[in-house]
Amino acid sequence: MDGLKETAGTFWRTCSEYVHPPPPIREQVPLEDAQFKAEREARVQAQIQLSYERAMARLSEMIDRNASKPAHISSLRVLGANKTRPGFLQAVLEPHLAAAQDPEATFATVLNSIQAAAEKLERFDIFHGVSVDLDTAARDPHGLAALIHVREKSRWKANSGTEMAQHDQSAYARFTLRNICGGAELLEGQFSYGTVTRNAFEVRLESPVNASPDTKVEVAGWNSSTDKKLWAGHEEVSRGGAVRLRHADPTPGSGMHELGWMGVWRTNTGMTETAPHSIRANAGDSVKSAIYHTYIRKTFDHPLLPTSGTYLRLYNEIAGASLGPLGLGLGLGGDTHFLKSEIHSRVVTPLHLPTSTTLSLSLRAGGLWGLRGITRPNDRFFLGGPSDVRGFAFNALGPRENNYSLGGDIYLASGLAIATQIPYLPTWPARLHTFLNAGSLSPIDQTKPLGAQVREVVGRGSVAVGVGVVCAVRGVARVEVNLGVPVVTRGGERAVKGVQVGLGVEML
Amino acid sequence: MPAEVQQPQWQIWSVPKPMAQLFDKFPLVEHPAALLPATPNTPKHADQPTLYIYSTAIDSSAHSPSFDAECLKWQTALLLAGLPFNAVSSNRHASPTFTLPFLNEPLSGPLVYSSGILKWIQENPSANLAAYLDEKTQADATAFTSLIESKIHNAWIYTCFLEPKNYQAVALPWYTKATAWPVNLWIGRQIREEKRAEIEAKRTVNGEEIYADAAAAFAAIAAALGDDEWFFASREPTLLDATLFTYTHLILSSPLVQDGIRQIVRTHGNLVQHAKRVYDRCYRK
C-alpha cells in the first residue's frame, strides 16, 4: 500500500512538474553580448527539454511497472460542478467506473477509466478544464479515491461574426445559453443578415441523449428570407421547425449521422418583372413535411487544403409521402411529395512526386423524384459557380429561361485537380492547382423512360478547365482565383472565360 | 439559344490579342439546351398574352370565370373586347405588386397591371370594346361605376369574407385550395383581415347598413338599365356592363350559405337577365 501511495504521489508530482516547469537559471551577462546571451538561452532551453523528456520516460516506466498492481476505485467525487445536475454527472461517469470498481481491476485499468471519464466530461463543452486527482482511500487497501476538478464555462455567451460563402456573405449575432437545466443542454438563438440570406432568425435547443456527448437531440425553429432574384427571379421566405437526432463517434475516421423531421412553410414571392412563366407558375405557398438522413465522414488532414484523405456525404429525404397503398390517408402531410437522394464525395491522395503534389478527385450526384409527377424549384438542384463547377456563372447550368435558372431533378458533377505547392513559397497556406470540372443538370420527365434520361445526364455535360491559386484563410474559408475556359457547354448556360474568384468551404 | 459568355469582371487591361484569339476558340463543343422541367398551368397558346387571375380552372382557357371580383372584371372586359388571351390560375405572390390580375405579353417585357389594362385594350387596334356614346353617357357611366365599386363591392366583400358561414363555405376553399393544412388557415385569416381593413378604411363594418346601401344601389342601377339589353341603350356591351356583371354573377352563382344579398339581386329581374346575357356571350363555349 505504501508503494502504491508513493507511486500515486510521484505520478502526480511529475505531471505537475510538466505543467509548471521550474524557472530557468539566469546569470548576469553583459548587455552588449547579445549573441552570447542567446546561445546560452538556447542551451538552457535544450536542457529543460531534455529534463522533460526524461520525466516523461520515468513516468511511463513507472506506469508500466505498476500497471498490473491491483487497485480499484472506491469513491469518486466531482468538485466545481455547481450548476450541473448530480444525476447527470452520475449517468455520465458510471459506465466508466464499472470496470474500475471490479475487485480484479489493476492500476492501469483505473487510470484508463479515469482518463476516459475526464475526457468524456470535456466533450460536453460545459467545462473549461478537467483535472483528476488520485489519492489512497481511507479504510480500503488497494482502493483509490478519485477526485475530478472541473471549472464550469459561463452560463451564457454572446458573439457575433461573419460567414462567407460564394454569393452569400452575412453577418450574424448569436446568443448561447449553456447547461440550462444542469444536463449540458444548449439553447442558442441567432440572427443573421446578409446579401442573399436577407434576414434569418434561428433558435435551437439541444440536449445530450442518455448522458452521452456523442448523441444529441435537437429541436429547432427558423424564419428566413432568401433573395434569389439573381439566378431564380424571386425571393423565398422559409418558416419552419425541425426535430433532429445526431450521433457522432469520437474515434477519428468515423462519421456523423443525423436523422430528423422538418416541417417547412415556403413562399416563393417577390417575382421580378422579367421572370418567365415557368418561375411565376411556382409562386405562392407550399408546405413540406419531410424525414431526412445525413451521413458525413471526413478524414482530411487539413480542413481547407487537404493533401490526403476522403470526404463522403450522403443525404436522403422523403417528403409528404403517404404510407401504404390504397390511399390509407396516413402520411407526413404537406403538399410537397418527393424522394431526394444526394451524394458528395472527394478523394485526395498525394502523388509521390516532388513539391507535395496531390491529386483530388470529386464526384457529386443527386436525384429528385416527384411522387405526384412534378417537382418544385424550391427542392430542385442547382449547379454552377466558382465553388461548384468552376468556369460557369453561379447556378448557371441546366435548364434556363430568360437568363434565370429553373433547377433540375438529376445532376452529376465531377472534378479532377492536381495541386502543388507554390514555387519558392512552400510554407504559405496556398497551393497552385490545375482543374477539370464537369457538370450536367437535367429535369426528369416521368412520362419518358428513365434509363435514357440518366444516360444523357452522364454522357452529355458541360466541361471547363483552368488553373488557379487556392489560399486558405485560416479557419474561415478557401479563396480561389482561377483562370479558366469552358470546353463544352450546353445552350443557354452562362460560362465565364477568364478570371473567376471563388469563396467557400466545400468545393468540388 | 447559344451559351452566353460573361466577360471577365475587371477590364483594367484589355486581354492581349493572342490570348483573345485563343479564348474565341472556346467552347469547343456546344450541345443543344437542356429541356425545361414540367411546369403547372402552362398557357396553351404561347403567342397570346397571358392574364394571371384567381381561378379554379386547371387549363388556361380564357372562358372559365374567375372567382375574384377584380380578376373577373378584367377577364370579362378582355373577352368582350374580343381579344384572344390565356387565363392561368395563379396567386398574388406571382405578381411584383402583390395584386392580381396582371397581364403578361408573350414576348415583350413589361407587365400590365389592372389599372393599365383598360388603356392596353384601348390601344389595341383589334379590340372592339364599345366606347360610351357621348359625354353625358360617359359621366353617367363614371357615376354608376363608382357606385358599383363602392357600395356593391363592399356588400360582396362583406358577404363573402366577413359572414362566418360564407367564409367557411366559399372564401376559404376558393382562395386557399392550393395550400396545404395548416398554412391555409393562416392565409385565409390574413386575407379576411385585409378585406375587413379594406371596408373599414371607408366605412364602419355593419352588415345591415352595407346590405341596405347595396339594395339602394341595385335599385338605382336596375332603374338605369330598364329593359335595354346593354346600358344606355348601347348596341354593344361596354365596360360598365362588365363591371356590373362581375358582382351580379358572383352573387348569383356562388354557393353562399347566408344569401341575403342574392335575394336582393333576384328582386330585379332585368339584372338577372343582364348577367345571363353577358355570361352567354363570354363564358358559354
Beta strands in B108-242 (DSSP E): 111-113
Out of B4, B31, B42, name the one closest to residue A277 (CB): B42
Which of A460, A462, A472, A471 shows the shortest CA–CA distance to A493?
Answer: A462
Statement: residue A30 has pLDDT above 70: no
Burial A217-239 (b: 16+ CB within 10 A, else e): bbebebebbbbbebbbbbbbbbb
Give the model's pLDDT for residue A27: 56
CB contact under 8 A, A278 and B36: yes
3-state secondary structure of A139: coil
Reported as a pLDDT band with limits 50, 70 and 90, residue A20 is low
Query: Do B6 and A403 touch, CB atoms closer than 8 A?
Result: no
Query: Do A500 and A482 touch, CB atoms closer than 8 A?
Result: yes
Sequence-distant (6+) residues with CB within 8 A of A484 are A390, A391, A435, A464, A465, A466, A467, A468, A496, A497, A498, A500
Give the model's pLDDT for residue B6: 55
Sequence-distant (6+) residues with CB within 8 A of B18 are none
Give the model's pLDDT for residue B74: 93
pLDDT in tens, A363-375: 999 999 998 888 9
3-state secondary structure of A404: strand
**Chain A residues touching residue B34 (CB < 8 angstroms):** 398-400, 408, 441-443, 490-492
CB contact under 8 A, B180 and A334: yes
CB contact under 8 A, B8 and A280: no
Q: Could you tell me which residues are beta bridge partners of residue B54?
A: none
Give the model's pLDDT for residue B232: 85
Report if pTM > 0.95: no
Mutant choice from B15, B26, B184 vs A, greatest count of A C-beta within 10 A = B26
The identity of residue B244, as a single letter, is: L
pLDDT in tens, A101-152: 777 778 888 888 888 888 898 888 888 888 888 888 777 777 888 888 999 8
What is the least distance, in Å, from the CA of A228 to any CA of chain B? Answer: 14
Domain ranges of chain A: 2-152, 228-504
Q: Do A2-152 and A228-504 show the same overall fold?
A: no
Which of B159, B160, B154, B158 shows the shortest CA–CA distance to B173?
Answer: B160
Half-sphere exposure of B16 (CA within 13 A, CB side): 2
Give the model's pLDDT for residue A192: 92
Statement: residue A46 has pLDDT above 60: yes
The identity of residue A353, as a single letter, is: L
CB contact under 8 A, B90 and A281: yes
pLDDT in tens, B74-126: 999 999 988 999 999 998 899 988 888 999 988 666 788 988 898 888 888 88
pLDDT in tens, B222-242: 999 888 888 888 888 888 999
Mutant choice from A265, A280, A369, A383 vs B, greatest count of B C-beta within 10 A = A280
Find the range with the poorest average confidence among A257-266, A327-336, A385-394, A400-409: A327-336
Mutant choice from A493, A499, A500, A503 vs B, greatest count of B C-beta within 10 A = A493
Statement: residue A293 has pLDDT above 90: yes
CB contact under 8 A, B4 and A284: no
For A381, which DSSP code? B
CB contact under 8 A, B36 and A399: yes
For chain A, the average pLDDT equals: 87
Reported as a pLDDT band with limits 50, 70 and 90, residue A2 is low
For chain B, the average pLDDT equals: 86
**Chain A residues touching residue B51 (CB < 8 angstroms):** none
Out of A270, A287, A442, name the one closest to residue B34 (CB): A442
d(CA B255, CA A352): 80
CB contact under 8 A, B30 and A409: no
- The highest-level CATH class for domain A2-152 is alpha beta
Beta strands in A100-211 (DSSP E): 127-136, 143-152, 156-165, 168-178, 186-194, 197-209
pLDDT, average across residues B158-186: 89
Q: Could you tell me which residues are beta bridge partners of residue B4?
A: A494
Find the range with the poorest average confidence among B61-70, B102-111, B190-199: B102-111
Reported as a pLDDT band with limits 50, 70 and 90, residue B1 is very low
Give the model's pLDDT for residue B13: 62
Query: Do A332 and A338 touch, CB atoms closer than 8 A?
Result: no
Backbone angles phi, psi at B121, to 5 degrees: -65, -45
Chosen CATH of A228-504 out of 3.90.1300.10, 2.40.160.50, 3.90.79.10, 2.30.180.10: 2.40.160.50
What is the least distance, in Å, from the CA of B169 to any CA of chain A? Answer: 21
Give the model's pLDDT for residue A16: 61
Statement: residue B8 has pLDDT above 70: no
Give the model's pLDDT for residue A75: 84
Q: Kindly identify which residue of chain B lies nearest to residue A410, measuring between CA atoms.
A: B37
3-state secondary structure of A254: coil
Half-sphere exposure of A139 (CA within 13 A, CB side): 0
Out of B50, B91, B96, name the one closest to residue A272 (CB): B96
Query: B101 to each of A229, A287, A387, B90, B146, how far by Cα in Å?
Result: 22, 25, 41, 9, 20
Q: What whole-number percentage of chain B has pLDDT above 90? A: 40
CB contact under 8 A, A267 and B52: no
pLDDT in tens, A432-465: 999 999 999 999 999 999 999 999 899 888 999 9
Statement: residue A216 has pLDDT above 50: yes
Positive or negative CA dihedral for A421, A425, A426, A430? negative
CB contact under 8 A, B4 and A494: yes
Sequence length of chain A is: 508
What is the least distance, in Å, from the CA of A258 to any CA of chain B? Answer: 27
CB contact under 8 A, A283 and B94: yes
pLDDT in tens, A343-363: 999 999 999 887 789 999 999
Statement: residue A329 has pLDDT above 70: no
Domains of chain B listed by start with CATH number: 50-118 (3.40.30), 135-282 (1.20.1050.10)
Out of A408, A490, A498, name the one closest to residue B37 (CB): A408
What is the least distance, in Å, from the CA of A368 to any CA of chain B? Answer: 12
Our CA angle for A36, A42, A46, nearest 5°, is 145
Reported as a pLDDT band with limits 50, 70 and 90, residue A14 is low
ipTM of the complex: 0.84
Reported as a pLDDT band with limits 50, 70 and 90, residue A13 is low
Statement: residue B62 has pLDDT above 90: no
